[in-house]
Structure 1
Amino acid sequence: MASEEIKSKKQRNDECIINCLPEDLIERIFLRLPVSTLLRCVSVCKHWHNFIRDPQFVVSHLQCAPRDVLLFFQQESVSGEPYPSDAILIDEAWSPSTCAVPVIGPDDFLFGSCNGLLGLYTKTSTIKVANLATGECLHLEKPAKNVKGDHFSFYSFAFHPVTKEYKITHFLGDCVEGRPHNKDRFSTIQVYTLGDEKWKDIRTPEALSLISVRNSGVVNVDGKMYWLTEEMLSSWQHAVMSFDLWEESFAMIQLPAACEDHDYFGPRKFWIRDIDGKICIVTAQTSRYGPKALAGELQIWTLDNTVEQQRWSQKYNIKNPPNYIPGPHFVHRDRILAQLCSDNVYAYELFGENCDVNLCKGVNLLDFSPRKPYNMQSYICVKSHVRLDVYKKAGIVRRPKQLEGWQLKKWETWKCRLSKLADLQCRMHKFEHHLLVCWPDCYY
């Protein structure tokens, strides 16, 4: 009883201290606090609860929040052993987190990140939008149920800077009575605006390639969605298709001529990515040794949008291309995230624009073995307190049972296995060395 009285008295004293400060000073302090600390402060002083929930403060706090890298590993099976979906954050110091991302379930698939909100595809009849920091989740019905061949890569999550609306899009494969009619193409984009009651179907100008969407990716920049497609007149050529989320209109952007050059190596591989808020095309020749091996140089082109025209410019020309280009964000703070010949993710520094870059040295961020490198995604992410309960008209909002989810340790099982494996290999090496010394004839 006495301890409760002491705790209550301390809380009242803390509230008095905060309330004595000027409001503009408190706002400046709150803007620089991480979400977890901010929520604890508000729990102590209820007076400021409505203040931090004000939409203008949420926007201002979001602009001050540090941008981290979120690496996502989708659910998979390796050598018959299941590995759940998982994620890890890389902070501004390029240091990986050792805590779990509490909103990502073992069967979830990540398809987008906006302002601290994650778009997650599930194998059930719902998808969910989750706040990375607060743990709040909004569960929504999928636009089409029981569609065969549906995939998380056919979904996208975006924020429109003018309307301030969050939108989820879905590429719906051509089908008849729920069965795939042409699983390689789509003629409808389904759009849902958070807070609306239902999805909206929008017809495309013509049937477009669904395979290109899955292979090359989708990015969202300034209220428009971009993806690569094949031109109908010459299937070996590519173009960028854009969809304006506000006007709901389509446009096609031709790639620079240099992107379509072919040489003796093999056909080119293309990805669409986002670098510092600009559309980016990444391309390289495939090697004669296999479609997953790259040869020559990795070219990176960015699209400069002006009032008069759209112009492509070559931003980087990278020698010794990596084996895999994660997306949709693979360049962060002038470093490129890549995986070469090992199972490690590296961050390689890029020295200026329009110059040759040799990936010879890099910062080792993470060993993701035994997972497959081609199942990794990379997003730029923040921790914010964007509210989801204001969008619950057509969905169900679930709040976290506890705010301490970030304290759950992760990677410990993998680290333990890797340590045991390294120890076993060391013992085997010593044993073989002992045999070689004592019984050299056994090796001949």
Structure 2
Amino acid sequence: MFLQKNLVSKFPQETRLLTMMAEETKSKKQKDEEHIINGLPGELIERIFFKLPVSTLLRCTGVCKEWHKIIRDPQFVTSHLQDAPQCAFLFFPQESISGKLYPADAILIDETWSQSTCAVPVVGPGDSLCGSCNGLLCLYTKSSTLKIANLATGECLHLDKPVKNLRGDYFFLYNFGFHPVTKEYKIIHFLGDSVEGRPLHNNSRFRVVQVYTLGDDKWRDIKTPEALSLNCLKNSGAVNIGGTMYWLTEDMVASWQHAVITFDLGEESFARIQLPATVLEDSAGDGPRRYWVREIDGKICIATAQTCSFQPRRLVGKLQIWTLENKTEQRWSQKYNIQYSPDYIPGPNLVHRDKTILQRRDRNLYSYELLGDNSNTKLCKMTKLLDFRPHKPDNMQSYICVKSLIRLDVYKKAGIVRRPKQRGVWELKKWEAWEHKLSENERIWTDTHRDEHVGAAHAQCYRTMINDVLPRILDDTIQLEIGMKINQIFPNIPDQQPRPLRRLNCVAQKQDRENLFVRMENWNNITKATREARHSIFSMMVNAVLNQIGASSSDAGISSQNRSEGDDVKI
């Protein structure tokens, strides 16, 4: 640095010229690289971009105008979406468990079955999930708005809820879909006949479906052909497949006492599909049969099983899954007849990459391979995916999602587009205790890392001091023993990993706390072993020094005695 300053002071013009030449060379090199990349055929660049994940493409948009233009092109966005890898999106709503409030959370499982660790920023603590398609989530908030969010880009579009019957609203009365022909995204609201503010009951009905098309400025009312069951919709769920919404309603004349209602998102028309005429054999000792609308391999499926007589939410007996093979002919086929029913059926998607995802009473999520034919199917090769305690097993929702580049700012005239913070603080008062817990956890991690760093520095100083004194000890055996004990002072401590900048999801938080407890216990064991090693070394060194002093005194006494005896001999 001194030499550089000296050269600059002595040769200012020459130094300035060299600097300009270096900058010119650098900028020329950058220009050459950009020229080479931009010189590639546009089709080749697009083919490369098709293979990149959304997160990488978002960074590429800032490289140059040409790349930004390619990646933001609507045709490229659509083509990239078609080949995007699928992931399982597991959603846990806000719950109160044993008097403690837990926020909404979400976990993604990719195509390699790896789980995400960070919370999804677009999911607020009180949000509920209404639907998902093409990488967009429809979230029901506690305020007067619905939230459409892009899972990958973080863009959020806030839309006003329909004014009618707002006080008696619930998240399961909304759904979200996309029509592949009209290219329109629509939110469906099942408007109940129940009195405002009162909970739903078994006889609750709806006669109107409210529809909102993204980009419009208002909701539209569409009358149903008949009064349909809200309670049945709540219990069985609804799915959107190929631009058509499917859900169940009561049909006491039919063999299964249910029928499928369809709503075409393009034509906005209703239709009815009868369920199979096959008579289901029920066990007399078990409870009533339940039905669910699910999606498997892009087809609508009906899952059905009996419930436990004393635990209505628990399933017993066989789980049958039927697939609609032909919509026009209303022809069904039995896809699976699983011998032993799982305890709970997640939905609306329960199959990810040829494996079914099922829940058990132990609040663990498992994946299974299904072996056998449609009349005798077995759950095989069980793999535990995650432990989602303390969340309740029957509240989890599972969707098959993709990450997309779909932009929401094109609909900004209809709502407000925001981008959530990566690690924002939940400002509502009811989440103060939760935020305090997270802050306390971060504080303990910081204190532990600080103590480890300070302790390691003290240990190094102590080692240096001992090594300086060690040569003064003449006993080789004691020297060797002390040298071995020095290595017991603060053995290797794991490197301090940087703390994540984003909030962790519920599973990762639990693992993080377990890691913290293990690290604290390890630290306590290290300090205890260090303290014992230091006391032992100090005791050995003191004894060695005293022995050396005693030996020196003894040698001095013998020498003095020998000199005295020699003097006597001379006399």
Aligned to 2:377: 357
Matches within 5 A, 1:59-138: 59-138=78-157
Amino acid at match of 2:36: I
Distance 1:118 1:236, change over 3 A: same
Whether contact under 8 Å (1:174, 1:180) holds in the other structure is: no
Matched, 1:390 2:410: yes
Matches within 5 A, 1:274-289: 274-289=295-310
Distance 1:382 1:6, change over 3 A: farther
Distance 1:279 1:368, change over 3 A: same
Distance 1:282 1:135, change over 3 A: same
Matched, 1:298 2:394: no
Q: How much does 1:144 deviate?
A: 2.5
Q: Single out whichever of 1-10 and 83-92 deviates more from structure 2.
A: 1-10
Whether contact under 8 Å (2:91, 2:129) holds in the other structure is: yes
Matched, 1:227 2:323: no
Matches within 5 A, 1:305-324: 305=326, 309-324=329-344
Aligned to 1:439: none
Structure 2 residue corresponding to 1:410, chosen from 500, 504, 507: 504
Distance 1:21 1:252, change over 3 A: same
Q: How much does 1:358 deviate?
A: 2.5
Q: How much does 1:419 deviate?
A: 6.4
Matches within 5 A, 1:29-428: 29-144=48-163, 147-175=166-194, 178=196, 184-231=204-251, 237-258=257-278, 260-264=280-284, 265-305=286-326, 309-351=329-371, 354-359=374-379, 361-400=381-420, 408-411=502-505, 412-417=508-513
Aligned to 2:45: 26
Q: Tell me how far apart the structure 2 counterparts of residues 14 and 80 of structure 1 sit (CA, whole Å).
A: 61
Amino acid at match of 1:258: T
Distance 1:172 1:99, change over 3 A: same
Partner of 1:266, secondary structure, is: coil
Whether contact under 8 Å (2:260, 2:275) holds in the other structure is: yes
Partner of 1:290, secondary structure, is: coil
Partner of 1:196, secondary structure, is: coil
Q: Tell me how far apart the structure 1 counterparts of residues 108 and 139 of structure 2 sit (CA, whole Å).
A: 17
Distance 1:341 1:180, change over 3 A: closer
Unaligned runs of 5+ in 2: 1-18, 425-499, 520-571
Q: Single out whichever of 338-347 and 311-320 deviates more from structure 2.
A: 338-347
Distance 1:299 1:417, change over 3 A: same
Unaligned runs of 5+ in 1: 424-444
Partner of 1:292, secondary structure, is: coil
Distance 1:57 1:174, change over 3 A: same
Cα deviation 1:3-47 (Å, max 9, x = unaligned): 999998886555333202111110100011101101112211222
Distance 1:269 1:24, change over 3 A: same
Q: How much does 1:288 deviate?
A: 2.8
Amino acid at match of 1:290: Q
Q: How much does 1:181 deviate?
A: 11
Partner of 1:43, secondary structure, is: coil
Distance 1:6 1:393, change over 3 A: farther
Whether contact under 8 Å (2:303, 2:322) holds in the other structure is: yes
Aligned length: 421
Distance 1:11 1:155, change over 3 A: farther
Q: Tell me how far apart the structure 1 counterparts of residues 248 and 399 of structure 2 sit (CA, whole Å).
A: 19
Q: How much does 1:276 deviate?
A: 1.1
Cα deviation 1:348-376 (Å, max 9, x = unaligned): 01236525232354111111011111110
Whether contact under 8 Å (2:316, 2:342) holds in the other structure is: no
Aligned to 1:429: none
TM-score where L is the length of structure 1: 0.87
Aligned to 2:462: none
Q: How much does 1:94 deviate?
A: 1.0
Partner of 2:208, secondary structure, is: strand
- The structure whose residues are more often strand, as a share, is 1
Amino acid at match of 2:502: L
Aligned to 1:441: none
Q: How much does 1:331 deviate?
A: 1.2
Q: Single out whichever of 74-83 and 276-285 deviates more from structure 2.
A: 74-83
- In angstroms, what is the RMSD of aligned CA positions? 3.0
Q: How much does 1:111 deviate?
A: 1.0
Distance 1:302 1:47, change over 3 A: same
Partner of 1:29, secondary structure, is: helix
Q: How much does 1:318 deviate?
A: 0.7
Q: Tell me how far apart the structure 1 counterparts of residues 234 and 514 of structure 2 sit (CA, whole Å).
A: 33
Aligned to 2:441: none
Q: How much does 1:290 deviate?
A: 2.3
Amino acid at match of 2:322: W
Distance 1:116 1:46, change over 3 A: same
TM-score where L is the length of structure 2: 0.68
Q: How much does 1:388 deviate?
A: 0.9
Q: How much does 1:385 deviate?
A: 0.4
Aligned to 2:541: none
Cα deviation 1:182-228 (Å, max 9, x = unaligned): 86111110001111111110111121110011111000111111111
Amino acid at match of 2:92: F
Q: How much does 1:266 deviate?
A: 2.9
Whether contact under 8 Å (1:242, 1:250) holds in the other structure is: yes
Q: How much does 1:138 deviate?
A: 0.7
Q: Tell me how far apart the structure 1 counterparts of residues 154 and 29 of structure 2 sit (CA, whole Å).
A: 28
Distance 1:352 1:97, change over 3 A: farther
Q: How much does 1:271 deviate?
A: 0.6
Q: How much does 1:259 deviate?
A: 5.8
- The structure whose residues are more often helix, as a share, is 2
Q: Tell me how far apart the structure 2 counterparts of residues 293 and 182 of structure 1 sit (CA, whole Å).
A: 22
Q: How much does 1:337 deviate?
A: 0.5
Whether contact under 8 Å (2:423, 2:503) holds in the other structure is: no
